[in-house]
Amino acid sequence: MAHLNYYLDLCVDTFIVNDGAVLLRLHEKYNYWGSPGGHIDPGEDVNEAAIREAWEESGLKVILVGPKDWNKVDTETNKDLVPPLFVNRHSINNTHDHSAFIFAARSNSREINPQEEESMDTEYKWCTEADLDELLKTDDRMRPEIHKYALAALKIAG
């Protein structure tokens, strides 16, 4: 979904893990390594948005993984959502910010097959912890916060 033209939009980022590696995608608009993610659609909760964005941008079906020692306990009147690992606020430009809920997820596949046209020419890579450390040292498109989020996802969902 496009920006809603508010000063602050709510978004999700989903760091997908498979067999000891985390998926990174090169953001086509801002030219930095990140994860599949995007805006939360009206009527959608954060878990639904994280799963949808992962599917749309990578074609991977994912299961969200909560923080260590978190247990889902639904009741008759309450559905527990998987909590994010991190929440941030970052500037997009002088008049617009995003607040992102950062999730870890598992997938049983590494086959990238984007479901939306804008992601079809995007560069993707699966990274181990050593790969992430090397990217941080050698590629200025790897931001320290993305490195931190990807490492956390590897530890929790790996």
Q: What is the CATH number of the domain that holds 129?
A: 3.90.79.10
Count of domains in the chain? 1
pLDDT single digits (tens) 111-145:
999 998 877 789 999 999 999 999 999 999 999 99
Q: Which two tokens stand for residue 42?
A: 């009206």
Name the nearest CA neighbour of 107 among 19, 12, 2, 9.
19
Tell me what pLDDT residue 3 has.
55
Average of per-residue pLDDT values in the chain: 93
> Residues 100, 14: contact at Cβ < 8 Å?
no
In a domain, 1, yes or no: no
Highest averaged pLDDT of the listed ranges 24-33, 47-56, 87-96: 47-56
Tell me what pLDDT residue 96 has.
84
- Distance between CA 37 and CA 34 in Å, rounded? 9
Strands 33-34 and 86-93: unpaired
Tell me what pLDDT residue 5 has.
59
Asked if the model's pLDDT at residue 6 lies above 90, the reply is no
In a domain, 3, yes or no: no
> Model pTM?
0.92
Q: Can you give the residue range of the structural domain that contains 132?
A: 10-157
Burial of 113 from C-beta contacts in 10 A (0-12 / 13-18 / 19+): exposed
Asked if the model's pLDDT at residue 44 lies above 80, the reply is yes
In a domain, 144, yes or no: yes
